[in-house]
Every structure is written in C-alpha cells, then in structure tokens.
Amino acid sequence: MSMTERRGLFITFEGLDGSGKSTQMDLLARRLAAEGHPALVTVEPGGTRIGAQIRRILLDAENHALAHTAELLLYFASRAQNVEETILPALCRNEIVICDRFTDSTLAYQSFGRGLGEPVVAALHRIACGDLTPDLTVFLDIDLETSLRRARDRNRNLDAASAGQTRMDEQSAAFYERVRDGYLTLARREPGRFRPIDGRGDIERIASRIWQAVEPAVSGIHA
Ligand code: ADP
Ligand code: TYD
C-alpha cells in the first residue's frame, strides 16, 4: 500500500500538555459523526496494542535513565506501528483520522525542547511514516501557567491507581517554554497546514473555532 495512494483526511492535534487536545478531539469526533462523517480517533504515543506498551516505557516516572536518543526512537517506534496498523489503512479507505499528537510533537519536544537536531527527526519520520503528513494540524495554544495548572488539576482528579507524575511531568518550566516556542515556529513555517487556536476560555467556544477550521476540509473529502 503506497502512502501516495491515500485519500481520506488526516487531522492532528498539537499543543502543550493540558492544552485541551483530548477534550476537543472528543467534541470534534462527535460533531463529525453527527454530520455523517464518523472519524477514527487515535493517539501518540500509543494508539495500538504494541504502541500502548511503548507508551508505558516512555511515561514511566521510574525511567529517569531513558537516554534522549532512546526516547526519540521509542516515539517513532510507536508511530511507525500506528501508521502501518491503523492510520494508513483508514486513510486508504477514505476515512477521516484524528490523531492526538504526531511528528510535530517530536519536533517541539525533542528538537526544540531537548535540542536534538531537526534533520534527525525528519530522517526518522521518513523511515516511520514515509511521506505521510497531516492535512490539517489544530494547534491549541495555551500559556505555560495554564498548562501546569490543568495538568495538576487533572492529576488530582485521577483515581489513586492512575494518579501520580509521569516522566514528562518532571521537566522544567524552561523546557516547556522551548516546546511552546517550537510550536509557534512550526506554525509560522507551515501556515497552510497549522491552525493555531487559542486554547484558553470556554470549551464550547474553542470547539466552534476548531469546527470552522476543519469543516471546509471535511466537505471536500467525500465530494
Ligand atoms: P490534553 O489532552 O491536551 O492533555 P485535556 O483535554 O486532557 O488536555 O485537558 C486537560 C485538563 O484541562 C482536563 O482536566 C480538562 O477537563 C481541562 N480542560 C480542557 N479544556 C479546558 C478549557 N477550555 N478550560 C478549562 N479547562 C479545560
Ligand atoms: P500525553 O498524555 O499524550 O500528553 P498530554 O499530557 O498532552 O495529554 O503524554 C505524552 C507526553 O509525551 C507529552 O508530555 C508529550 C510527550 N511527547 C514527546 O515528547 N514527543 C513525542 O513525539 C510525543 C508524541 C509526545
């Protein structure tokens, strides 16, 4: 199955932790279903049974020793599995796929955040995903303070078994500042694909801004 044969619509959601991606993806999927366009919803890292195992290694707070290069390769391992097993087959069936994070996350967190070279990420993307690029990327922008506050509140609301810090929660504020600046740079670089949306304020209002950004692409797909 060639990547170039794919049709469908590939929408990704990006943003800092707690930017509202899961909340808004859920609302978008419901809206799409109500309009007669059911979508496949998936997540990175994770999304497949094997990807979920990789995700556990990546987020395990005990894995302080995880080397930056190993981390990078694990994100792409999860993604390669998801692309081959789930995303590409759905796109080839002309479906809509919505993915929580994709290679822009790796550029923002590993390249801009950790300082790993963008050419390395681009080369790994080529190996893991071929020429698969999102058609549309919803970038939910929030400030750092909002991100930290929401992540804290969310952890507090989780039950005892799933509560607690993940490995990524331990990063410094400076790291997340670089990640956010990275996202802003990526958005400026590809204004046609990136739809930056203010992720603060009323949930329904954000959802309607996202719908305005997505709807024109959806009308085209089954034409
Ligand atoms: P992400 O998937 O980007 O980490 P979530 O959708 O899980 O973000 O949201 C993180 C937390 O913030 C959740 O507790 C969620 O209920 C809350 N939240 C999401 N959107 C908003 C919003 N617009 N205003 C206030 N709280 C929000
Ligand atoms: P997740 O729970 O999916 O994110 P969120 O907190 O936004 O709901 O956790 C994934 C974490 O992994 C998040 O901190 C971002 C990070 N990440 C990377 O560093 N690189 C990547 O390529 C991806 C996909 C995620």
69 CA → ligand 1 middle, Å = 30
Q: Which of 99, 109, 142, 150 to mutate to test the pocket of ligand 1 (most atoms within 8 A of CB)?
A: 150
Q: Whose atoms come closest to the Cα of 149: which ligand?
A: 1
DSSP structure string for 151-210: HHHHHHHS-TTT-S--GGGGS-HHHHHHHHHHHHHHHHH-TTTEEEEE--S-HHHHHHHH
Closest atom, ligand 2, to C-alpha of 103: 22
Alpha-carbon span 173 to 62, nearest angstrom: 20
CB 131 within 8 A of CB 44: no
The pLDDT, as a whole number, for residue 104 is: 98
Least confident of 79-88, 94-103, 170-179, 194-203: 170-179
Distance in Å, CA 219 to ligand 2 centroid: 30
CA 19 to centroid of ligand 1, rounded, Å: 6
C-beta of 153 in contact with ligand 1 (< 6 A):
yes
Provide mean pLDDT across the span 28-50: 97
Radius of gyration of the chain from Cα atoms?
Answer: 17
Q: What number of other Cβ atoms are within 10 A of residue 187's Cβ?
A: 18
Ligand 1 atom nearest the C-alpha of 199 is 23
Phi, psi of 10 (to 5 degrees): -110, 110
Nearest-atom index, ligand 1, CA of 16: 3
Region 123-134 average pLDDT: 98
CB-based contacts of 161, cutoff 8 Å, min separation 6: none
Q: How confident is the model at residue 190 (pLDDT cuts 50, 70, 90)?
A: very high
Domain 7-221 architecture? 3-Layer(aba) Sandwich (3.40)
pLDDT confidence bin for 3, thresholds 50/70/90: low
Q: Is the pLDDT of residue 180 over 80?
A: yes
Strand partners, 39: 96
Distance CA 55, CA 32 (A): 28
Task: Give the Å distance between the CA of 14 and the centre of ligand 1.
Answer: 13
Question: What residue segments make up the domains of the chain, in order of their start?
Answer: 7-221
In angstroms, what CA-CA distances link 85 with 42, 49, 52, 134, 202?
A: 11, 10, 13, 17, 36
